[in-house]
Amino acid sequence: MSTTGLAPRLAAYHLLNAVTIDGRLLSEEIGGGALSRLSPEDRARAQRLAISTLRAADRADRMLKPFLQKRPPLSVRNAMRLGTVEIWSGEAAHGVVNACVEIVGRDKKTQSMKGLVNAVLRKVAAEREGAWDRLPIPRLPDWLRLPMIEAWGKPAVTGMEAAHYAGAPLDITVKSDAAGWAEKLGGQVLPTGTVRIPVGVQVSGLPGFEDGEWWVQDAAAALPVKALGNIEGLNILDLCAAPGGKTMQLAAAGAKVTAVDISPSRLDRVQENLERTKMKADLIDADALVYDVEGFDVVLLDAPCSATGTIRRHPDLPHAKDGSEFGDLIALQTELIDHALTLLKPGGRLVFCTCSLLPDEGEVQVEEALERHEGLTVEKPEFEGLDPAWLTEEGGVRLRPDYWAEFGGMDGFYLAVLTKAA
């Protein structure tokens, strides 16, 4: 039996199990060395396979369902999902089927299901042309879909699911000359000034990367700093700063930046990013809740959150999580807002932002902060390319993956600029 390409498929299968069974994120698994034994090509292929399978898992399950009398164990289902997604992305079916049969045959617990995997994947391969594309766009799991429908309505959530399935383009923030860099890199300048370039390129090999002329940053993630307007010479505290996308924006705009993060290894990445882009910031390894230097003109709080706004790029998230950690994150965000306000000078500004699609981590946080803090106000958002449809009732900016469909979407994000009483 030919099993060409087994190593990356086997690695992808282990990644799928780590995410769906153990609740681990791909970044944790890969960062922990899960693919380190593979060649660079196989590593990239394993990662691509895991990502495309997680993104399309709901569709694969729908295709598999008529061929399964009862649900096999999740690991076997993962092998079938992997095979289904590969077959319908144009891989030669016999090689895919052989590899998936071999994969389940390697584990004593699933060995007995080799025949089932073989038979089912052959049926999947024999489906009529176009069968895959006729299946619905993959849906979010109910634990996330239902609160999102409550917040945004079903048509909006369907639009977000389409954006998640389409994946994310590659966005960069340039130090200067967006039009020039767009031309050099074959991209386009988006209405808010971010440059969007074609995907599938080796980022570190592109012109301007080595020289630190730009960094990768989703267009939505670039907006909290843009919302501050002219910050030249201001004393700014970047709380929760790593890996430093916003730190670099602040420094590039001429602010004096202090960047705090609780994770020393992530802070190393801020250092590397600053070195590459030849910019400076004071880096502090600390818990933001105990950092107590006061008197800043601005505090930027990019708080830890559910990261549900980044599912286009991280399709593992809905499979690895179940929402049970979100309550603690919301409570931490509230504490961080209250503490951040104590670090501002009177009349100073706090930018609160999260890469979340849940109002509890955005709009509601700001509404409640306004109730808790007398004299706190929300500044009217203003920046290049701001669409009035993004403005929210309490005065913040809501960004969603289904926005800018004509350009290829954006991450889900929330931001508000709050002014402390003078």
Q: Which amino acids are annotated as binding site, given as ranges? A: 240-246, 261, 285, 302
The yes or no reply on residue 395 touching ligand SAM (CB under 6 A) is no
C-beta closer to ligand SAM: residue 120 or 301: 301
Count interface residues toward ligand SAM (CB under 6 A): 18
Residue 409 CA to residue 221 CA, distance in Å, equals 13
- Answer for which of 94, 266, 313, 345 binds ligand SAM (CB under 6 A) is 266
Residue 361 CA to residue 307 CA, distance in Å, equals 10
- In DSSP terms, 285 is beta-bridged to 261
Shortest Cβ distance from residue 186 to ligand SAM (Å)?
A: 25
- Which residues between 291 and 330 bind ligand SAM (CB under 6 A)? 302, 304
Using CB under 6 A, which of the segments 7-15, 190-198, 259-267, 315-323 binds ligand SAM? 259-267
Shortest Cβ distance from residue 297 to ligand SAM (Å)?
A: 18
Peptide bond before 243: cis, by omega within 30 degrees of 0? Answer: yes
The token pair at 52 is 């495309």
Handedness of CA 216, 191, 403, 59 (dihedral sign): negative
C-beta closer to ligand SAM: residue 297 or 302: 302
Using CB under 6 A, which of the segments 96-104, 107-115, 203-211, 256-264 binds ligand SAM? 256-264
Stated as kind and residue range, the H or E segment containing 170 is strand 170-174
Could you tell me if 403 and 334 are in contact, meaning their C-beta atoms sit under 8 angstroms apart? Answer: no
Could you tell me if 173 and 352 are in contact, meaning their C-beta atoms sit under 8 angstroms apart? Answer: no
The yes or no reply on residue 362 touching ligand SAM (CB under 6 A) is no
Task: Tell how far CA 204 is from the center of its chain.
Answer: 20
- Answer for which of 58, 86, 218, 261 binds ligand SAM (CB under 6 A) is 261
Residue 412 CA to residue 402 CA, distance in Å, equals 9
- In DSSP terms, 238 is beta-bridged to 259, 300
C-beta closer to ligand SAM: residue 51 or 260: 260
The yes or no reply on residue 287 touching ligand SAM (CB under 6 A) is yes
The yes or no reply on residue 244 touching ligand SAM (CB under 6 A) is yes
Residues that bind ligand SAM (CB under 6 A): 240-246, 260-263, 266, 287-289, 302, 304, 355
